[in-house]
Amino acid sequence: MGLENIGITLDERGRIPVNEYLETSVKGIYAIGDVVKGAMLAHKAEEEGVLVAEHLSGQKPHINYLLIPGVVYTWPEVAAVGYTEEELKTQNIKYKSGSFPFKASGRARASMDLDGFIKVLSDASTDEILGVHMIGPRAADMIAEAVVAMEFKASAEDIARMSHAHPTYSEAFKEACLAATDNRALHI
């Protein structure tokens, strides 16, 4: 691309180094998306584009990269946001785990989409949701509820107490939150 002609050098993996506002080493030139560090996701690039635009207009933007969901568009779909169990263990964060299988979901049974489950990881003392992992029908859509919950620092109990329409796939998220909150899933 000739970036070296304007003074931009790539890192060891061929990415463009940027600062917290995604500005390169050349003042006034910004980079986002697949060419910078982080997951190669269109929605990550979109958030980065918004961050740059807000920064240039004098606002004070931020991105919490931990809360950008990863999605694999297979069947069944796979989606995750937040920490994995391995990351929590490495950081010595005590956590609770609850999961709920789609085979116990009324909607999944009616639709014959029985493969998969939802797992919720929450802080052992505060119950704040730290990670959500899904494999199953509509996971790409359902992960948004987990992102909202985590953005507002909801506990597993908060989600467990919310009404979810029946029969829907999203009930499995509520059930996994119930499971993470003293193993209280209703439909197992």
The series of mean pLDDT values per 10 residues for the chain, 188 residues long, is 86 94 95 93 95 96 94 94 98 96 90 93 97 96 97 96 91 94 66
User: Is there a contact between 186 and 165 (Cβ–Cβ < 8 Å)?
Assistant: no
- From CA 181, how far away is CA 97, in angstroms rounded? 8
Q: What is the DSSP letter of 144?
A: H
Backbone region of residue 144 per phi and psi (left: phi > 0; alpha: psi in -120 to 50; beta: other values): alpha
Task: Give the phi and the psi of residue 129 in degrees, each rounded to 5.
Answer: -70, 125
DSSP string computed for 20-77: TT-B-SSTT-B--GGGSSS---HHHHHHHHHHHHHHHTT------GGGS-EEE-SSSE
What pLDDT is recorded for position 2? 81
Q: Are residues 28 and 100 in the same domain?
A: no
Residue 92 maps to which CATH number?
3.30.390.30
Active site residues: 166
Q: Are residues 79 and 150 in the same domain?
A: yes
Residue 49 maps to which CATH number?
3.50.50.60
10 Å Cβ neighbour count for 13?
6
Quote the domain boundaries for residue 12: 3-63
Among residues 63, 81, 104, the one where a domain terminates is: 63
